[in-house]
Amino acid sequence: MESCNEAVVVQALTYQYHASGPFILRDIGFRIDRGEVVVITGLSGCGKSTLCLCISGLIHHHRNGVISGKIILNGKDTRGMRGPALALEVGMVFQDPDTQLFSPAVEDEIAFAPENLCLPPEQIQERVNNVIDTLGLAALRHANPYYLSGGEKHLVALAAVLALDPPVLILDEVLSQLDSLGKKRVIATLEILRDKGKTIIAVEHNLEALAFADRFMVLEAGKLIRFDRTEKILADQDFLMTRRLV
């Protein structure tokens, strides 16, 4: 493995859900350094979730999709990598809280990833406890995820991915359904993760919510129209207005 400082490199990425369908992503290219926090934003339907699925390699499950371009994660070309192997490089919390939980109890849901990593039971227990503490899920520990409220589900989904402990973490609009305490907890957790050198990519509409991010990426109709330092973008009211982001 070549040593490199770039966690995610995307080159000339183009995507269609169907060969005869519209281009959802058009010629997207960017680099994200290890330990960076990047926010992806843009109008609904502009391709944010699709881009996240591409980066995490899960887009291959859409069998009719047509993809071209290159995605390099932690120095490894993801083409031809098997799904579970990709999961060791990148973890993703999906936008829909309902379709990513499948265990009979919150604790099992969180233990699922470390179990797959073949950790010894004591270490699994430790990870589960840590994650439950940081996200304040103690009261839900034995609850059935299927019967949780929307926000609780998202929090559990995040917990389950944190237990996987991947070097790159993608969150697709996870803050929106959380209450203010949950938002605070998640943001604090993200800051800790960043300090540990994790790379974080978060999709978010509320520009102020993740103002601690290093850079903002703005998509419009499948194109990357701007990728710039947070201060610069947030200060550029003209840009935000004309792009209808505020």
Partner 1 sequence: MFLELRQVGFSYPQKTSPAVIGINLSLKKSGITAIVGPNGSGKSTLTKLMLGILPASEGQIYLEGRNITEYSLAEAGRRIGYVSQNPDLQLFCASVAEEIAFGLVNQGCDVATLEERVNFYLDYFELAAYRKSFPLHLSQGEKQRLAIAAVLANEPEYLILDEPTNGLDAYRKRLLEEYLHKVAELGRGILLVSHDIAFVDRMAERIIALANGQIQSDSNQRGEGYLCY
Partner 2 sequence: MLLDPRSKMIMVICISSLALIYNTPARLLQLLLVTLVLLFIFSFNLRVIAGYLKPFVFLMFFLFVVQSIFSPGDRVILALGPVSLISIEGVLAGATVVLRLLVITAAAMLFTTFSSRDFILGLVQWKVPYEIAFMVSTALRFLPLFRDELKNVLTAIQLRGVDLKKVPWGKKMVMYRRLTFPVVYRNMLKAEQLAIAMEARAFRAYPQRTYLRQLNLQRVDYVVILLSLLVTFILIMRYIG
Ligand X SMILES: Nc1ncnc2c1ncn2[C@@H]1O[C@H](COP(=O)(O)OP(=O)(O)O)[C@@H](O)[C@H]1O
Residue number, 117 or 209, with CB nearest to ligand X: 209
Residue 132 interacting with partner 2 (CB under 8 A): no
Q: Which 181-200 positions form the footprint of ligand ATP (CB under 6 A)?
A: none
Helices 180-195 and 150-162: angle between axes, nearest 10 degrees:
10
State which of residues 17, 23, 30, 112 lies at the interface with partner 2 (CB under 8 A): 112
State which of residues 45, 83, 104, 150 lies at the interface with ligand X (CB under 6 A): 45
User: How many other CB atoms sit within 10 Å of the CB of residue 92?
Assistant: 25
Residue 74 interacting with Mg ion (CB under 5 A): no
Q: Which 90-109 positions form the footprint of Mg ion (CB under 5 A)?
A: 95
Report the length, in residues, of the chain. Answer: 246
Smallest distance from the beta carbon of 2 to ligand X, in angstroms? 31
Angle in degrees, CA 39, 101, 190, rounded to 5: 30
Smallest distance from the beta carbon of 68 to ligand X, in angstroms? 16
Q: Tell me the residue nearest to Mg ion as measured from the CB.
A: 49
Residue 80 interacting with partner 2 (CB under 8 A): no
Q: Which 200-229 positions form the footprint of ligand ATP (CB under 6 A)?
A: none
Q: Nearest CA to 166 among 7, 49, 59?
A: 7
d(CA 155, CA 169): 15
CB 24, CB 68: distance < 8 Å: no
d(CA 100, CA 79): 24
Residue 91 interacting with partner 2 (CB under 8 A): yes
Dihedral angle over CA of 5, 163, 204, 216, nearest 10: -10
Residue with tokens 């009211």: 237
Residue 49 interacting with Mg ion (CB under 5 A): yes
Q: Which does 180 bind (CB under 5 to 8 A by kind): partner 1, ligand ATP, partner 2, none?
A: partner 1
Q: Is 218 helix (H, G, I), strand (E, B) or coil?
A: strand
Binding residues for partner 1, per CB under 8 A? Answer: 17, 41-45, 49-50, 95-98, 144, 147-152, 155, 173, 176-182, 205, 244-246
**First vs last Cα of the chain: how many Å apart?**
42
Residue 55: enclosing H or E segment and its boundaries? helix 48-55
Residue 167 interacting with ligand ATP (CB under 6 A): no
Residues that bind ligand X (CB under 6 A): 17, 24, 42, 44-50, 62
Residues found near Mg ion in the complex (CB under 5 A): 48-49, 95, 149-150
